[in-house]
């Protein structure tokens, strides 16, 4: 039995801005950032390995970090002017330096560095050959809470302190994920972050902003450096074919004599393979900015150079939002569990004297929890485009040894969930572990207790309560009338329902619409869909009608509504739940005198399916001109 987590995302499109840039001959200094994209899971290792989490981590620990160190040393020993500085992620570095020796995920053990390897890594950091940005890794900040977001920034600062590194203009890097909520701006500024650098993936519609700008929200602002259509892409093979190192892929500003360019390599591909590749990137950059001094630097060097023209940068004061956040809906259980853990953690840090990040148990658990907000959610595919119908899918599930790709897919999603349980284990005997377990117990679905409640005979009639509330349900169990005794307003109607449960099956027409409207360019394919589905199944695009089966009422204006679906074929052919319960508790707070309605939604016996589906819990209240909706995101609701 699974409980529902309702997650709402509001996306605001930023108004188009004019193109900003500068002439190549005006650029005197080119900053090159050497990075590769980090997916902690998903893919990037095929065909040699699957993108299981520990396969990815082992690649960095065993191969990529040592390779980066060798490249820097070789260039220095051979007397080259060109340097190689590898920019990586604080979460990776923290895990490398404090490697859990017995971490096994999906049957794969994490390979921890030995003393010699650790010494080599620390020496490389102190020489400036390896550096990191201000964020933990490629995050989806809207998925986590304020306290965990702050800890993500603290992690990088703590590593700096450990290595005696002083950064004046800390910069957060985010790749793949196209944007974030403006609610992050005050948090970043308060935590000493001066800028954000974002490389939007090739297919996602980016916010329409100039390459360099100031992002303002409330009384805070940071510098934004945005790149649409790639992280950027990998550099080309020659100066004539510069690829992601072309002039237009670099961040410039009119009248500014610095440019920020990237020697970027794609998903989990690591640093350049040899110094010849590094030197090629330099030659490409020089071809794009003739006469300029080209050198590898950390992010903060470029942001420091921006300071004299900071007040000249265009100002953007709009919400961006993260439109590449499909993962949250793909595993509601994982999201519900991580939110439960975050509630317990934040409450503990706020009110308990025995709960502090100075406690290694709390700190280590927090590091593990950061992975829950990282942008990957499992392997990219189960490599099957035939077995779409439930009967064929269930046959595959019954023969897991034969269908290893399906088994691997399931494992990859389970190992992502495991970071919640690993965080609890890291707490040991700390009281926070007990609090987290309690929070997890509260999201387990349980049949509502109807003891003492009266079964309503006329379920469609208005239900008057002694405390002044009045509710009315339609035949699907949706609230179509809600009146409170304080404002005397009507909050719901048949056309403006509250608490409507909707199950939707989808087909290729829905993907065609999405793929036709969302991608950054018609030349790109989103990669979101069900390949060959229409040839092997006949799914419908529809919202399935429900029917209320029972309604129970308590003496304190509390209700339990029970419903199912009119057409049970949605249960056998798709994945709709067998039953749904919604509990309503309308009450007046005696201390504040304010009223409200608490709602608990649960579903039961939902079958798995490979066919596309969506579940919604709809709130569309009657509009009142003197009132407005606000969404609370990362501590702000403006």
At residue 234 the predicted structure's pLDDT band, cuts being 50, 70 and 90, is very high
At residue 20 the predicted structure's pLDDT band, cuts being 50, 70 and 90, is low
Q: Look up residue 345 and give its two tokens.
A: 């953690």
Q: Judge whether 227 and 204 are in contact, CB under 8 Å.
A: no
Average pLDDT over every residue of 9-33: 67
For residue 291, the 8-state DSSP code is T
Tens digit of each residue's pLDDT (9 = 90 or more) over 337-374: 999 999 999 999 998 788 999 999 999 999 999 999 99
Taking the model in full, what pTM does it have? Answer: 0.93
- What was the pLDDT predicted at 14? 38
| Sheet of 170-176, strand order | 170-176, 193-200, 220-227, 212-217, 315-316
CA distance 638 to 630: 7
- Which range (156-160, 358-362, 376-380) has the least confidence? 376-380
Tens digit of each residue's pLDDT (9 = 90 or more) over 88-99: 999 999 999 999
Q: Look up residue 358 and give its two tokens.
A: 């100075």
At residue 12 the predicted structure's pLDDT band, cuts being 50, 70 and 90, is very low
Please report how many Cα atoms fall inside a 13 Å half-sphere around the Cα of residue 108, on the Cβ side.
19
For residue 140, pLDDT over 70 is answered with: yes
User: How many other CB atoms are there within 10 angstroms of residue 291's CB atom?
Assistant: 9
For residue 9, pLDDT over 50 is answered with: no
- What was the pLDDT predicted at 66? 99
Closest CA to 372 of 405, 407, 413: 413
Q: Of 157 and 329, which is predicted with more confidence?
A: 157
- What was the pLDDT predicted at 13? 39
In terms of C-beta density within 10 A (0-12 exposed, 13-18 middle, 19 or more buried), how is residue 638 classed? Answer: exposed
Q: Of 330 and 424, which is predicted with more confidence?
A: 424
At residue 524 the predicted structure's pLDDT band, cuts being 50, 70 and 90, is low
Mean residue pLDDT of the chain comes to 94
Q: What is the DSSP string of 288-304?
A: HSTT-EEEE--HHHHHH
The separation between CA 448 and the C-alpha centre of its own chain, rounded to angstroms, equals: 32
Q: Look up residue 398 and give its two tokens.
A: 């019954």
For residue 597, pLDDT over 80 is answered with: yes
Helix, strand or coil, per DSSP, at residue 184? helix
């Amino acid at each position: 039995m699974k409980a529902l987590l309702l997650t709402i995302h509001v996306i605001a499109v930023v108004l188009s801005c004019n193109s900003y840039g500068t002439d190549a001959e005006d650029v005197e200094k080119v900053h090159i950032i050497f990075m590769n994209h980090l997916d902690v899971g998903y893919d990037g290792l095929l065909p040699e390995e699957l993108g299981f989490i520990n396969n990815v981590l082992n690649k960095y620990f065993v191969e990529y970090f040592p390779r980066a160190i060798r490249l820097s040393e070789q260039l220095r020993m051979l007397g080259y002017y060109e340097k190689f500085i590898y920019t990586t992620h604080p979460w990776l570095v923290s895990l490398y330096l404090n490697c859990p020796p017995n971490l096994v995920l999906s049957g794969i053990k994490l390979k921890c560095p030995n003393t010699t390897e650790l010494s080599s890594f620390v020496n490389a950091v102190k020489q400036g050959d390896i550096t990191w940005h201000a964020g933990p890794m490629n995050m989806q900040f809207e998925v986590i809470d304020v306290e965990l977001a702050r800890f993500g920034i603290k992690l990088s600062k703590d590593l700096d302190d450990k290595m005696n590194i002083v950064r004046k203009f800390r910069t957060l890097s985010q790749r793949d994920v196209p944007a974030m909520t403006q609610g992050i701006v005050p948090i970043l500024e308060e935590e000493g972050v001066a800028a954000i650098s974002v490389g939007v993936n090739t297919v996602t519609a980016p916010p329409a902003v100039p390459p360099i700008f100031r992002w303002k929200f409330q009384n805070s602002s940071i510098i934004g450096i945005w790149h649409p259509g790639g992280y950027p892409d990998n550099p080309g093979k020659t100066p004539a074919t510069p690829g992601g190192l072309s002039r237009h892929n670099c961040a410039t500003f009119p009248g500014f004599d610095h440019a920020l360019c990237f020697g970027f390599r794609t998903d989990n591909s690591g640093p350049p393979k040899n110094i010849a590749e590094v030197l090629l990137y330099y030659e490409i950059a020089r071809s794009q900015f003739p006469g300029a001094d080209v050198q590898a630097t950390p992010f903060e060097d470029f942001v420091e150079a921006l300071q004299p023209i900071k007040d000249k940068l265009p100002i953007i004061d709009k919400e961006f939002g993260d439109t590449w956040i499909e993962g949250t809906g793909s595993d509601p259980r994982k999201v519900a569990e991580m939110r439960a853990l975050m509630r317990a953690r934040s409450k503990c840090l706020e009110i308990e004297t025995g709960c502090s990040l100075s406690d290694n148990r709390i700190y280590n658990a927090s590091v593990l929890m950061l992975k829950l907000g990282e942008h990957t959610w499992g392997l990219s595919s189960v490599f099957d485009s035939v077995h779409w119908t439930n009967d064929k899918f269930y046959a595959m599930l019954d023969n897991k040894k034969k269908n290893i790709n399906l088994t691997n897919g399931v494992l990859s999603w389970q190992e992502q969930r495991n970071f919640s349980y690993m965080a609890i284990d890291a707490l040991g005997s700390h009281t926070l572990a007990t609090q987290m377990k309690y929070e997890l117990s509260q999201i387990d679905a349980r049949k509502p207790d109807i003891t003492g409640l009266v079964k309503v005979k006329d379920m469609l009639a208005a239900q008057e309560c002694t405390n002044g509330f009045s509710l009315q349900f339609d035949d699907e169990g949706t609230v179509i009338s809600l009146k409170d005794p304080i404002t005397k307003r009507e909050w719901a109607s048949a056309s403006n329902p509250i608490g409507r449960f909707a199950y939707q099956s989808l087909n290729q027409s829905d993907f065609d619409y999405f793929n036709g409207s969302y991608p950054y360019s018609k030349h790109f394919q989103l990669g979101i869909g069900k390949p060959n589905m229409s040839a092997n199944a006949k799914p419908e695009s529809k919202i399935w009608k429900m029917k209320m089966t029972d309604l129970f009422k308590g003496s304190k204006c509390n209700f339990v509504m029970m419903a199912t679906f009119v057409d049970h074929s949605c249960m056998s052919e798709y994945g709709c739940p067998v039953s749904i319960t919604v509990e309503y508790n309308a009450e007046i707070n005696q201390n504040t005198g304010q009223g409200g309605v608490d709602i608990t939604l649960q579903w039961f016996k939902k079958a798995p399916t490979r066919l596309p589906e969506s579940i919604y819990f709809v709130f569309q209240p009657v509009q009142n001109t003197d009132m407005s909706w606000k969404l609370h995101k990362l501590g702000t609701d403006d």
